[in-house]
Chain A
Amino acid sequence: MTLLEAVDVHVEFTSRGRRARAVDGVNLTVGEGEIVALVGESGCGKTTLARTLLGLERPASGAVRYGGAPLTYSTRALKAYRREVQLVPQDPTGSLNPRHTVYEAVAEGPRIHGLPGERERVASALSRAGLRPPERFFPVYPHELSGGQRQRVVIAGALALDPKVLVADEPVASLDASVRGEILALLLRLRAELGLSALVVTHDLGLAWNIADRVAVMYLGRIVESGPVEQVLSAPSHPYTQALLSVLPESPAPIVLGGEPPDPTRVPGGCRFHPRCQVLAGGKAAEAGVDGRCRSQPLSILPAVPGSRVACYFAEVSRAPL
C-alpha cells in the first residue's frame, strides 16, 4: 500500500534572477515497508525532492500525499507529520551538536513531541540502531565516537519517534568502506523488524543494488527511468541510466558523458538529456527515426507505477519489437 507519494510535484527556485526548475514534474511513491532509491548526479534535484517530501519545501504545483491525504503546511500539521516521516541527514558529524551527549541528541525529538517514557525510548532507539548496551553510550559525546557510531546515533534519533518512513540523504557517503555495509544492513534490519519504509537519496548505484526494492533515476528535475532494482540496474533502458552504470569501476565499456551536470535554469527543449545523449550522438536515434522528437518534442511525465517505466523515445521504439 502506498504510504508516501509525490504527485506531479514541481519545485522552483530563483537563482541569480533566473528561474531554476529544480524538480520539474515528478511522480513517485514509497509503499509500506518498501525501500526506494532515488539516484542521480549533484544538481539533478534529488535532494530538493526529498526535502519536499519531508515538508521542508513547498511545491510550486502538485502535491505530497501521506497515507492518501495531501500534506497540510500548518506548523501543527507539519510537526505531527515529521513524527511519521523522519530525515536521516547526510553528514552525521555536522548534524550532531558537539556539546550534547548521545542521550541528549536522541532525547531531543521525544522532548519536542512531549512523548512519555523518555529514558526507555532513548535506550530502545539506541539498541535498535545497534548501539548496545545503550546505557554505555548515554554520557558519550560525538567526538568520542567513530563515524559509523555517529551515523547510528543519528539513526537512533530518528527511530526515537517511532516513524513509519525514513528519508535518508546519502546515508553512507561520508563513511568508511568497511562501515558502509554495516549501516546499510541496519536499514534492511529496521525494515524487517519494524516494517519501516525508506527513501534513500544517493548517487551510489551500488547502494541501490545492495538494499533497495525499487529505483528511480533522476536527471535535471525529472525521473527518467524507474522500476524494480533487478530490472532497471541489470537491463537499463534509458541512455542516462546505461551511462551511469557503465562508469562503475567494474564495467567493461565505460560511456563517459562529457560536460558537467546540466543547469536547472536552462532546461533543454525536447528530451532534457538530448544534448549529452550518447544514443542520439552516435546516430542510433536517427536510424530509429526518433531524433527529431528527441530534439524538439517534450516527453510526458512518467506515472508512479510499480513496473518499470522509461522516458525515452529511442527506448520506446527499440523495446517494442522485442
Chain B
Amino acid sequence: MTSPETRPGTRPEARRGGLLELRDVAVTYRSAAGDVPAVRGVSLELAEGEALGVAGESGSGKSTLALALLRLLPKTARVTGEIMLDGEDVLAMTWGRLRAVRWASASVVFQGAQHALNPVRRVGTQIAEPLLVHRMATPARARTRVTELLEQVGLPAWRARSYPHELSGGQRQRVMIAMALACEPQLIIADEPTTALDVMIQAQVLTLIRSLIAGRGISLIMISHDLSVLAATCDRLAVMYAGRLVETGPSREVFTGARHPYSRALAEAFPTVGDFASRMAPRGLGGDPPDPMRLPGGCSFHPRCPVALPSCAWRDVELWPADRAPEEPASPASSAPSHTAACVHVLPDPEAGPEPETTGEDETPAGRPAKESA
C-alpha cells in the first residue's frame, strides 16, 4: 500500500542502539496534593538516523518524557533513571554542559509555534540566536545561515524580517523547524508538530520533516496522539499509557497489527476513509484516562480494556515479545525482539504466569499473580 521510497517505515540504514538510550526513566511531579507519577519506568533506544513515534493521549506522560530528555521540565519534577545521549548521561550533566547540548546536539520543535516564538522579535533573529549563543557562527555568517535554513524549510529569505504574527500557522511551524535545524543537531524532538494545523498544511510540514531528516543521519522523536500520522513518518512506534510503554515495534506492525488493546483503539480511532468497516461505525474507547495519583491496581489499563481477564485487576505485565505469527520470518540482524507489548494476551498462555514455568494448575481460571504491582 505504501511505497518504501516515500515512507520511511523500512529505512535500512537505521541501526539499533546508539544515539539515545533511556533506562528506567521515571518522572514524578511534586504537588500540594502529593506526588504525581507522570512517567513510570520507560526504557527505550534510538539509533542514529532513526525516527521514533511516541503515541498516547493527554496525561499519558508522552510530553513529559520528551521534555525530560533535555531537562526542560519545571523544578517540581523529579527525574530518575538514565538518559544517555551519545554516551553521556543528561541527568548528570552540569548546567553549562546541558546548555551546550541543547540546540547543538538535540533540539525541540514545540507544540503550538505561536506560543513558542517570541512575538516581538523578527523570526530571522530568533533562528540566528542559537547559532550566536553557541558561538557556531559570526553575525555575518549567521545571516547567511538563516537564509539557507529558511530556504530549506520552504520560506523565502525576506521572511527573516517578519514577525511571528505576520506568518500563518504552517509558516510559523516551518520557522520552528528551521530553528531546530540551525545548529545541525543529531536529534530533533518534535512535540505534536502538526496538531493545530489543517490537513494540507500538516501534509506539507510532515513531508518537510521527512525530507530534512532523511539522508542526514538526524534522529527524530515525534510525539502525537494520532497513530496514523506517526506511522506515516516514523520507523518505530512506542505507545504510552499512564506513564508506561505498553507497546513498541516497527511502525507498520504496531499500526496495522497492534497487540495491546490500547494501541489497537488508538489505531482505530482515526478511520481509513474508504474502509467500509468503519463507515457509520466510529470506534473509541470507553472511560477516561486514569488519574495518575489514583492509578488502578494490576494493569493500569484494565478498567477500560475490552479484553481484560479477571486476573488483570491485580496482575501487571511488563513489555513482552509480541512478534507476529511464528510463520512470518523473524526480522534479521536483530536478536532483541523488535515488537513488544505489555499485555497478558501476548503471553504464551494468558491464563498462566508470564514465566514459562510448567505446573499442572492450568485449570485455575484466575491464574496466579505473575508480579504483584507495587
Residues of A within 8 A of B (CB): 41-42, 146-149, 176-185, 188, 203-206, 208-211, 229-230, 233-234, 243-245, 247-250, 252, 254, 256-258, 260-261
Contacts and interface: CB of A to CB of B under 8 A. Distances in A.
B46 interface: no
The 8 lowest CB-CB distance pairs between A and B, nearest first, are A181-B284, A247-B203, A184-B282, A176-B57, A249-B228, A182-B284, A178-B285, A177-B269
A44 to B, nearest CB: 9
A238 B288 CA distance: 40
Contacts of B339: none
Contacts of A42: 169, 198
15 contacts: A146-B289, A176-B289, A177-B57, A177-B265, A178-B265, A178-B284, A178-B289, A181-B269, A184-B282, A209-B274, A247-B202, A249-B270, A258-B204, A260-B168, A261-B200
Contacts of B272: 206, 248, 250
Q: Please classify how large the interface on chain B is, using the bins under 10, 10 to 19, 20 to 34, 35 or more.
A: 35 or more
B284 A252 contact: no
B180 interface: no
B231 A181 contact: no
B282 A252 contact: no
A243 B268 CA distance: 23
Nearest to A210: B282
A180 B270 CA distance: 9
B238 to A, nearest CB: 15
Interface string B77-120: 00000000000000000000000000000000000000000000
A208 B268 CA distance: 15
Given A184-B284, A209-B273, A177 B3 contact: no
B275 to A, nearest CB: 8
A126 to B, nearest CB: 16
A180 B200 contact: no
Given A206-B271, A256-B207, A181 B280 contact: no
Interface of B: 1-3, 6, 57-58, 168-171, 198-204, 207, 225-229, 231-232, 262, 265-266, 268-274, 278-286, 288-289
Contact of A178 (B6, B57, B207): B57
Contacts of A185: 282, 284
A234 B275 CA distance: 9
B274 A203 contact: no
A260 B201 contact: yes
A179 B229 CA distance: 18
- Tell me whether chain A's interface is mostly helix, strand or loop, or mixed: helix
Nearest to A207: B282
Given A176-B225, A188-B280, 8 more contacts: A178-B57, A179-B285, A179-B288, A184-B282, A203-B199, A247-B203, A250-B1, A260-B170
Given A181-B285, A210-B278, A248 B207 contact: no
A181 B202 contact: no
Contacts of B278: 209-210
A178 B301 CA distance: 13
A181 B268 contact: yes
A210 B281 contact: yes
Given A180-B282, A181-B284, A256 B225 contact: no
B199 A248 contact: yes
A41 B169 CA distance: 12
Contact of A245 (B204, B273, B280, B288): B273
Contact of A249 (B3, B57, B232, B285): B232
A96 to B, nearest CB: 17
Contacts of A230: 279
Contact of B282 (A149, A188, A203, A258): A188
Contacts of A261: 198, 200-201
